[in-house]
Amino acid sequence: MSSIGCGGVVSLVPDKYGAGGTYRGTDGVLYRVGNTRCYTTTQGTPNGIVTMSIEIDPGQPATVASLVAQGVVLFQGKEVATFYGANAVVGGTSNLSGVKTVKANNNLPGALNNVLPAGQYCILTFKIATSSFLGTTPSGEIQICLSGSIPAPAPTSPLVPPPSPTSRPVTPPTPTPTSPPTPTATPIPANPVPPALVADEVQYTLSYSEGVKGWPSFYSYSPDWMIGMNNYFYSFKGGNLYRHNTNEARNNFYGVQYNSTLTSVINKAPLDAKLFRNISLESDEPWSTSLSTDLDNPAFIDASWYELKEGSWYSSIKNTSQVPTTLSNFSSRSISGIGRCDAWSGLSSSRQFNFPMNPFVEIGSQVSIGDYLYYNNELTNTPQFAGQITQININLTQNINNIVINADIAGSSEPINGNPFVISVKDNTAESHGILGHYCLFTIENYGPSPTELFAVQAELMKSYP
């Protein structure tokens, strides 16, 4: 097995989001990218696989925690593989080091006849997430690699030179004296043209406008050569000739459909902490929107969530749901205390929490299917994630009073005692009331191939009074 290439090493660092930008997966979720690295193969690669190593730094105190890593592999700009891995740590320092390798699949999706096609592969490694249950957060690093069976060249037979013919010795002639040559001027060579440098990272084309005397936009296409002729713009890619601005499909370059993206900031009264409530677009169609501030979790608005009101597309701002939720969110109004259960049992896919009938513990009408269930860890006195509620069963005549959850979710754990105190937490996106911050950085995206116009972006905000 030979390596095509590896993504950059991503470490658990104190910064909240990282500097690698964002990536929206095919699942519609917006991820924070820690590193992007691309490689180009010139031949097919059999048995292509994705492997990931997760290493936790040694010498840390005893804890119950894990490093969680995620990422994707793009082929020719399209997502062909996702990977997820976690290295759990339980106990003292003797268990805190080592490398865990996770295979995304036996064969990389998109391979033809079990052979990865030649082309450009980009490895996007997302920021590390951690899960800690005893108050200590582990540190470490992750790396993703793309590998396969690259065939070696066939051996060739060594060349044997033919024997030289035997010749008779010849008496050398007497040399004739000659006059020294007349020196001539040596011409100065022209400056050599350096070879073009082609980076392995994601490339863009930057455009210049004579009208504004500036650089207004980036384009997703990266041609081999460009030229303007007869009022048309031409480019070459992969030995093919293309004429631009003649395709009815917008943002479609060399057969690949791209998105339109615009990033800006709302920075009114930058010294005041503000609550950003909603956003409106003066456009002929809605755009997907992601937002982030310096004080709150990021938020996201899908294009389908916008409503057309008085000629503008309007939507409230919703926080991105974070599971498990952070401790700071347990003071919000979306938290409902249920009570101490009698016992819990069952597999992780259908774990059941039973509540007493005498004295009766009422589950309450505020608890709904789809909410997240948490229990109190009585060793640390902190809430821990148990799973997502799938059933609420109440039949007082038959002494049935229980909640069934799905615990097969990343970050969930089982209680350490038999009758923990449990609470329910509403989905952060469904119960969102906006995001808090001194400023709001927003990015809007349009995915369609049809032309669209955007005139202005407006936001409703109010000063926060803590």
DSSP state of 77: T
Write down the pLDDT at residue 230: 87
CB count, 10 Å around CB of 411?
A: 18
Q: Say how many CA atoms lie within 13 Å of 132 toward its Cβ.
A: 15
Q: Which amino acid is at 464?
A: S
Q: With contact defined as beta carbons under 8 Å apart, do 389 and 364 qualify? A: no
Any alpha helices (H) in 19-71, and if so which ranges? none
By C-alpha distance, which of 367, 371, 341, 364 is closest to 354? Answer: 341
327-425 carries CATH number 2.40.30: yes
Q: Hey, which residues does 207 pair with through a beta bridge?
A: 217
**CA 169, CA 238: separation in Å to the nearest integer?**
60
Angle, alpha carbons 299-304-308 (nearest 5°): 105
Query: Rounded to an integer, what distance in angstroms lies between the CA atom of residue 304 and that of residue 310?
Result: 17
pLDDT tens digit at each of 466 positions of the chain? 566 677 667 666 544 434 567 778 777 777 788 788 887 877 667 766 667 676 666 655 555 566 677 888 888 778 877 777 766 554 443 333 444 555 554 456 555 556 777 778 888 888 776 665 555 566 777 777 777 664 444 444 444 455 555 556 556 666 666 666 676 767 766 666 666 555 556 777 888 888 888 888 888 788 888 888 888 889 998 888 888 888 788 888 888 888 888 899 998 888 898 888 889 999 999 999 989 888 877 888 888 889 999 889 999 887 766 677 766 566 655 678 899 999 999 888 899 999 999 889 999 888 889 889 999 888 888 888 999 999 999 998 899 999 999 999 888 888 988 899 998 887 766 666 778 889 999 999 888 788 888 889 988 888 888 6
Strands (E), 267-350: 274-283, 288-293, 299-301, 307-309, 312-316, 335-340, 343-345
Chain Cα centroid distance, residue 151: 32
422 contacts 375 by C-beta, under 8 angstroms: yes
> Can you tell me the distance from the alpha carbon of 242 to that of 245, in angstroms, rounded to the nearest whole number?
10
Residue 330 DSSP one-character state:
G
Q: Half-sphere exposure of residue 143, counting CA atoms within 13 Å on the CB side? A: 10
408 C-beta neighbours (distance < 10 Å), count? 13
The residue behind tokens 């020196």 is 183
The β-bridge relationship of strands 435-437 and 30-41 is unpaired
Q: Retrieve residue 278's tokens.
A: 């909603």
CB 201 within 8 A of CB 8: no
Strands 351-354 and 22-24: unpaired
**CA distances to 308, 312, 434 from 304, in Å:** 11, 14, 18
> Domains of the chain: which residue ranges?
2-148, 205-258, 261-322+432-463, 327-425
Distances (CA, A) of 217 to 207, 212, 262, 282: 6, 12, 9, 20
292 backbone dihedrals φ, ψ, rounded to 5°: -150, 150
